[in-house]
Structure 1
Amino acid sequence: MAARLPLPHCARSRCSRCLVSSDWEPFRDANGSCTHYVFKPLPMKTLNLRLYLVTDEHCLPPGRNLFDAVEEALQAGVTLVQYREKNGPGKGMLEKARRLIELCHSYNVSLIVNDRLDVALLSGADGVHLGQDDIPVAEARRLAGEDFLIGATAHNVQEALAAEAAGADYLGCGAVFATHTKKDTVPLGLDGLQAIRQAVRIPIAGIAGITLDNYRLVLDTGANGIAVVSAILGAPDISDVVTKLKL
């Protein structure tokens, strides 16, 4: 497991390194200095999109713990993990992100945080994934630096080209198929995914509605990998599904 390393103390009321604000007061001492810790990151930009697990606790069956599910998936061979929790409280997300980093790094797998650049930086995650309504990729790059992984969502070729030009390291493209986790999204389809693959040079992963029945069709478009949510987290046997999705 990666060792915890303290960040330098910050003498100001705001910490520019991790975007600490009033939401993070529990992580300051009486003098206003930072008291948080981060995990040592993996080697620069360790990115393998082949089997990208995206978390969603709503997809877990009763009695299944998020961390146990992620570890089972890691043991079976997922190559990248994204911690996604929409509208979660900052402090709770930070604690979960740190636990997931410890898990992922013990398997030499990178941990990406969805949407929340502040949580990603403060926790010591390897990167952030940004949607079209999140902070711009170029601004995230300016704040996080060149060695930080930045993924971006693309629903079409235009968004894909814009994200690539702004400095994204990879794209999550979709929804490829209709899915209950992205109810308001018009499916991109396999043709749309292939068009994005042909338009950009950076790696891409297809996301949404991907199952054992259709994952090969996604890879056949030239996509570098598949991003999977419920097909893994909701499976009766996570290890079995992950093993089959890697074939």
Structure 2
Amino acid sequence: MHIVTDSLDVVRGVLGHGPVAVQVRVKTSDRDAYALTTAALELCRAAGAVCLVDDRVGVALAAGADGVHVGAEDLPVAAARRVLGPAAVLGATCRNPEAARAAVAAGATYLGVGPAFATRTKTGLPEPIGPPGVAAVTRAVPGTPVIAIAGITPDRVAELECYGVAAISAVAADPSGATADFLRALASRSDRVGTAAPGGRA
């Protein structure tokens, strides 16, 4: 499971319940992103969790994070891979099988796919692709972990054919309890798809 956050309190709350990756998303400055990443990284290292940075390749390198997630407006996947080197975790956002295959060919470790459902967390998103859209991407890139994002609750996990899910607002109010609920929902599925988790963890 991926937790996307700009809050160190959320990072503290989501750790210790099972396999998670923390994705630091800061929309202000590189300085703010670096400060939060270094603090989150210390917590993640102690808990054995992956720590990624959203968008900011330079911040991830400077802080020593495990990797980066790039979106459509960020560095191209191939360029990010060249900068990060072969060992870093590199996630890429996509919505369809064609983009998924291209991202994997360019060096993506895993794919963030969505919006799976409607959400108010981020404005300006395209229409949700729904469980069928998530499944289409998953089937297009066998062996590559697909992480569904947007509008996902623990109750909706069973609808999704993918390796794991990402959450933002769904864990904000109760990071500890919500993360435990998500992890139980993921563990109860029998159709989990993907041969390896991003960075070796779900």
**Paired position in structure 2 for 1:229:** 168
User: Mapping of 1:114-129 within 5 angstroms?
Assistant: 114-129=54-69
Instruction: Note the alpha carbon deviations across 1:53-102, whole angstroms, 9 max, x for none.
Output: 111x4xxxxxxxx222211110223511100112x111121111100100
Greater helix fraction, Structure 1 or Structure 2: 2
- Give distance in 1, aligned partners of 2:154 and 2:88: 32
Distance 1:155 1:193 in 2: 8
The one-letter code sitting in structure 1 at the alignment partner of 2:84 is A
RMSD, aligned α-carbons = 1.2
TM-score by length of 1: 0.71
Write out aligned runs for 1:1-247 (5 A).
Answer: 51-55=1-5, 57=6, 66-86=7-27, 88-185=28-125, 186-201=127-142, 202-218=144-160, 221=161, 223-235=162-174, 238-247=175-184
Matched AA of 1:191: P
Residues 175 and 182, structure 1, Cα contact 8 Å, conserved in 2: no
SS at match of 2:137: helix
Amino acid at match of 2:182: L
**Larger-Rg structure:** 1
Could you give the per-residue CA deviations for residues 85-138 of structure 1, whole angstroms, max 9, x where no partner exists?
12x111121111100100111101110000000101011000000001111111
TM-score by length of structure 2 reads 0.86
Instruction: Tell me which residue corresponds to 1:47.
Output: none
Aligned length: 182
Q: Secondary structure at the match of 1:181?
A: coil
Runs of 4+ in structure 1 displaced over 3 angstroms? none
Q: What is the letter of the counterpart of residue 228 of structure 1?
A: A
Three-state SS of the structure 1 residue aligned to 2:154 is: coil
Deviations 1:10-60 (A, max 9, x none): xxxxxxxxxxxxxxxxxxxxxxxxxxxxxxxxxxxxxxxxx11111x4xxx
CA contact (8 A) 1:53 1:78 kept: no
Q: AA paired with 1:128?
A: V
Q: What displacement does 1:188 show?
A: 1.1
Q: Distance in 1 between matches of 2:140 and 2:60?
A: 29
Q: Which runs of 5+ in 1 are unaligned?
A: 1-50, 58-65
Q: Which amino acid aligns with 1:242?
A: T
Q: Counterpart of 1:162 in 2: which secondary structure?
A: helix
Larger CA deviation: 74-83 vs 149-158: 74-83
